[in-house]
């Protein structure tokens, strides 16, 4: 019978024969002092850890890399300059070179990666200085420093000044923006 556990080790005889290839008549097939079911639990945990590991630190766990056909030991399997994990997030094929650095905005903040490189901002962070304003907003709208949380050094973070209508570059209020380009949070 498929559910019988002759040796009372917690594994059915069927599972011991077909799945685990252990002896259904011995609680401890290999004689190491650990019953077969406990050994299988440990092996399953080790397998899960192996699957969840990201050996190359590219943002894809090794199990997903195996599923996609990417190399879990190479951060950029296709060699196009984008990490495999980034390509998956961007709905690109991590096995096909398709990176155009002139037209890529990896973080989706509105600035191209090439612009971010020139500015010194991080192409994978929408808000490099983490002040609450996107790099694009700081560079293209408020003309504040995307690398400095307090561009004018007055003790008030740029985002707080903008939120309250003040100019993050110095004293005074921000000029009134036409309604069609006004940003709200």
What is the value of pTM for the model shown?
0.43
Contacts of 179 (CB under 8 A, 6+ apart): none
**CB-CB contact of 57 with 84 (8 Å):** no
Domain assignments of the chain as residue spans, ordered by start: 13-52, 56-97, 100-185
The more confident residue out of 51 and 146 is 146
Does residue 120 carry a pLDDT above 60?
Answer: yes
Does residue 135 carry a pLDDT above 60?
Answer: yes
- The average confidence (pLDDT) of the chain is 86
Q: pLDDT tens digits for 23-62?
A: 999 999 999 999 999 999 888 887 777 778 888 888 888 8
Angstrom distance (rounded) from CA 132 to CA 142: 13
Structure tokens that stand for 88 in this block: 């998956």
Structure tokens that stand for 163 in this block: 């939120």
* CA proximity to 81, closest of 61, 62, 96: 96
Angstrom distance (rounded) from CA 175 to CA 137: 15
Give the model's pLDDT for residue 183. 55
Q: pLDDT tens digits for 58-97?
A: 888 888 999 999 999 998 898 877 788 888 887 889 999 8
């Amino acid at each position: 019978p498929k559910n019988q556990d002759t040796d009372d080790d917690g594994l059915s005889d069927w599972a011991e024969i077909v799945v685990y290839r252990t002896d259904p008549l011995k609680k401890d097939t290999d004689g190491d002092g650990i019953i077969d079911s406990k050994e299988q639990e440990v092996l399953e945990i080790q397998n899960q850890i192996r699957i969840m590991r990201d050996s190359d630190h590219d943002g894809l766990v090794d199990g997903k890399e195996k599923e996609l056909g990417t190399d879990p030991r190479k951060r950029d399997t296709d060699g196009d300059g984008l990490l495999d994990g980034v390509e998956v997030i961007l709905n690109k094929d991590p096995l096909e070179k398709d990176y155009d650095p002139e037209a890529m905005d990896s973080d989706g903040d509105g600035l191209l990666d090439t612009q971010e490189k020139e500015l010194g901002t991080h192409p994978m962070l929408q808000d490099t200085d983490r002040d609450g304003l996107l790099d694009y907003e700081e560079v293209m709208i408020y003309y504040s420093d995307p690398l400095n949380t307090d561009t004018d050094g007055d003790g008030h973070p740029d985002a707080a000044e903008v939120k309250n209508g003040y100019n993050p570059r110095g004293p005074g209020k921000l000029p009134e923006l036409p309604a069609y380009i006004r940003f709200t949070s």
